[in-house]
Structure 1
Amino acid sequence: MLAIFVGLALCLAGSVYTEEGVNWVLLVAGSNEYYNYRHQADICHAYQIVHKYGIPDERIIVMMYDDIANNSQNTMKGKIINQPGGPDVYEGVLKDYTKKLVTPDNFLKVLQGKEMAVGSKKTIQSGPNDNIFVYFSDHGAPGIVAFPDGSALHASDLNKAILSMHANKQYKNMVFYIEACESGSMFEDLLPVNINVYATTAANSEESSYACYYDSKLKTYLGDLYSVNWLEDSDKEDIYTETLDEQFRLVKKLTNLSHAMEYGDLSMSSVFKVSDFQAERGQVYTPSLSMTRLQPRSDLVKSEDVRLEILHRRLAEENDQIVRQSLLQEIQDVQRMKNLAINVIKGIARSLVKSQNLDLNSLLNTRKKLTNHECYKPVVDHLINKCFSLKNDHVLRNLYILVNLCESGVLAENINYTIDKLCPSKFFE
């Protein structure tokens, strides 16, 4: 009888734990190369926060290229900081999926808990009573966010995965924070309001997000405006009393050059505390990594202009003529790729105007809302395969033209035929 009683007690204890649920975290930096330092810095900082608040490493998954801390250009070897004079946020960071493993396909598999045969093999093994927090920092464009290999995660694929997870009861509540240009387009008119998912983004569906904290010693931007605002808030505030709504309102106010947005089930933001997603249950408020909020200054720059801005700053500070000549050449190369991206994408529109009876001025100077994902997705993928990597920020900034073509009724096959003609071979940076 005693054995039966003990067994029953253990069973009941297990069921109580399951009913309470646990928290899972997925952190993703979708870029590489030193000039994109800030994205991995954001992700490393986020890891330090959720780790500090007790979420165990087995329920935190980090995807980042991992080419910044030990980069030859990094004067703080083996370290990454996310604010001027701030603490090292790289120490102890998980490296579940790095280098070529940071892809849209692997991200979706990890999020949905599908079996992985690479990296740490960790995935979100959540159940119907668990909460999930997903934070993504990178470049974006209408309906996509970019990954280090220059490929795209499409909004339609992300939302399809979310709906599948809801249908399969893989979570109780889920929160997304997305740092990227035009990041609102990842959820706008796509994310349902009744599946217990709440999302905030750095920008609406039409505008750039902004980098901040230029460091003259490291010669790069340390963070992104929206991201450092929520990260520093989670450092400083008692997240066990602060609601998601309170954090969003503060971030929205401080992110003053783009419009931070929220989507999905907005009622969640006033019900749940930040700790319901960024902390382990049973933890208490602890001192922060940095108790001083460093307000982003006048060094804010649009994400697509970061690379050129860094090069111009380095040039202004450089006296060595050989180095200056090298910087001038790099500036010319970046400007050439910028112009090439603009000319090719605008050329696609110009080539189709007559045969499709379209207005060129409207195609180039207005922005239609993306709804025709069935056209847009294959067109963007074909452009990536035939013409450009999405590492060229100015490809991203001009994809609205492809949106306009799809929304004007042009068939994907006609757009792709034109791409083939304009890109006989792929252009490289």
Structure 2
Amino acid sequence: MLLKSFLTVLLFLFTSAVDPFEKFAESTTRHTNNWAILVDTSRFWFNYRHQVASCIPDSNIILMLADDMACNPRNPRPAEIFNNVAEQINVYGDDVEVDYRGYDVTVENFVRILTNRLPEVTPVSKRLLSDESSNIFIYMTGHGGDGFLKFQDNEEISAIELADVIEQMWRKKRYHELFFVVDTCQAATLFEKFYSPNILAVGSSKRGEDSLSHHVDPKIGVYVIDRFTYYALEFLEKLKQDSQKTIDDFFHCCPKHLCISEVAWRTDLFTKRDYRKTLLTDFIGNVRRTQVVTLDNQLLDNIFINIIRNQSFDEQYESKQQYAYVSQMPILN
């Protein structure tokens, strides 16, 4: 469901430096780190396009894939997944790290990840190690309906449950700001119940609308990407490290004549700053913040004196060290 995959592009953005002192003053934020949770909830071969939406390796990204299309016996290109018929980029390369796969992609695990209620034995790589200074980007794709998103055609998470989970995150100081993106049918109904602060949300379709696919790959006989994801990634691919593209620009990346469905969003919970001037890279860019500190001469002198003293102590200690051969084992007659 993503063009060169939200992830091929997101990987670049997450690992690229973002200058916090750019001219867009409105976009300055107190967050110190960014995290992403990318969830594909669909199983079976005909949902190939949903899996293309989620494939990027990064230490700050939790990737959940409900099925392994790369190894599906009907895949004519084993161990590879492409997002368009040109087959230019394999979005399932050797560097893809899937944190939760197959039947581990459940509503329960998704909720546990967000709320940090995982078993103690869960490795760090499978945890969302966010805090009150974290900006979190959540992308979900799969089959949904009015107020719910299905997980593997077996269970579903409701809009109310999702809203309550995010409220838990806020109460537990698990995020500073949150950007929620969902590509599914009637996507807007999934964030209608949100009530926690500092949230931006966008969905590929309004209530009563289907989220449509973009094109078929005749070699595999299924759709490879959805319309909203296709144009969203086309937009993201053009971002640079110092991009001034805003959240509002992203909201308009897939107009109705391209998406067919109508993209919907919520900004009423995002009150601390103007979303129209909030940089997109505040959520999908690597944070590298610096602070200029002015030191007076006296403080500099004290620092210099301490450095000299430490060096002198180290030299004296090294000169007193005794060196000798290690005792050998006794020789037995």
Offset of residue 178 of structure 1? 0.2
Offset of residue 275 of structure 1? 1.3
Contact 1:96 1:119 in 2 (8 A): no
CA distance in 2, matches of 1:219, 1:150: 25
CA distance in 1, matches of 2:266, 2:115: 20
CA distance in 2, matches of 1:139, 1:73: 21
Q: Which amino acid aligns with 1:148?
A: Q
CA distance in 2, matches of 1:254, 1:62: 31
Offset of residue 255 of structure 1? 4.2
Offset of residue 249 of structure 1? 1.0
Aligned mate of 2:111, from 78, 92, 108: 108
Q: Show the counterpart of 1:63.
A: 64
1:263 aligns with 2:274: no
CA distance in 1, matches of 2:221, 2:79: 16
Q: Show the counterpart of 2:173.
A: 169
Which contiguous aligned blocks of 4+ residues in structure 1 show a shift greater than 6 angstroms? none
Number of residue pairs aligned between Structure 1 and Structure 2: 254
User: What secondary structure, in the 3-state scheme, does the structure 2 residue paired with 1:42 have?
Assistant: coil
Give the root-mean-square deviation of aligned CA atoms: 2.2
Aligned mate of 1:273, from 273, 276, 279: 279
Q: Which amino acid aligns with 1:134?
A: I
Offset of residue 272 of structure 1? 2.0
Contact 1:132 1:175 in 2 (8 A): yes
The alignment's TM-score, normalised by the length of structure 1, stands at: 0.56
1:194-252 Cα offsets, whole Å, 9 max, x none, are 60000100111221110112010121111011111112211123363111110111223
Note closer, same or farther for the CA distance 1:120–1:74 as it changes in structure 2 (3 Å cut): farther
User: What secondary structure, in the 3-state scheme, does the structure 2 residue paired with 1:164 have?
Assistant: helix
Offset of residue 121 of structure 1? 6.1
User: What secondary structure, in the 3-state scheme, does the structure 2 residue paired with 1:72 have?
Assistant: coil
Q: Which amino acid aligns with 1:75?
A: P
CA distance in 2, matches of 1:164, 1:254: 38
- Structure 1 segments unaligned to the other structure (5+ residues): 1-18, 52-56, 284-429
Contact 1:191 1:263 in 2 (8 A): no
Offset of residue 84 of structure 1? 2.3
Contact 1:215 1:221 in 2 (8 A): yes
Note closer, same or farther for the CA distance 1:120–1:167 as it changes in structure 2 (3 Å cut): closer
Offset of residue 119 of structure 1? 7.9
Contact 1:41 1:89 in 2 (8 A): yes
Q: What are the equivalent positions in structure 2 for 1:60-139 lying under 5 Å apart?
A: 60-85=61-86, 86-91=88-93, 92-116=95-119, 117=121, 122-139=126-143
Q: Which amino acid aligns with 1:261?
A: A
- Structure 2 segments unaligned to the other structure (5+ residues): 1-29, 290-333
1:250 aligns with 2:253: yes
Contact 1:230 1:251 in 2 (8 A): yes
CA distance in 2, matches of 1:20, 1:139: 33
Contact 1:138 1:145 in 2 (8 A): yes
CA distance in 1, matches of 2:123, 2:46: 25
Q: Show the counterpart of 2:298.
A: none
CA distance in 2, matches of 1:25, 1:268: 22
Offset of residue 268 of structure 1? 5.1
Which is richer in helix? Answer: 1
1:22 aligns with 2:24: no
Offset of residue 73 of structure 1? 1.0
Q: What are the equivalent positions in structure 2 for 1:223-302 lying under 5 Å apart?
A: 223-238=225-240, 240-253=243-256, 255-264=258-267, 265=269, 269-282=275-288
1:69-89 Cα offsets, whole Å, 9 max, x none, are 111111111111112213111
> Between the two proteins, what is the percent identity of the paired residues?
28
Q: Which amino acid aligns with 2:91?
A: V
Note closer, same or farther for the CA distance 1:159–1:250 as it changes in structure 2 (3 Å cut): same
Note closer, same or farther for the CA distance 1:132–1:144 as it changes in structure 2 (3 Å cut): same
Offset of residue 149 of structure 1? 4.9
Q: Which amino acid aligns with 1:76?
A: R
Contact 2:53 2:225 in 1 (8 A): yes
The alignment's TM-score, normalised by the length of structure 2, stands at: 0.71
Offset of residue 142 of structure 1? 1.1
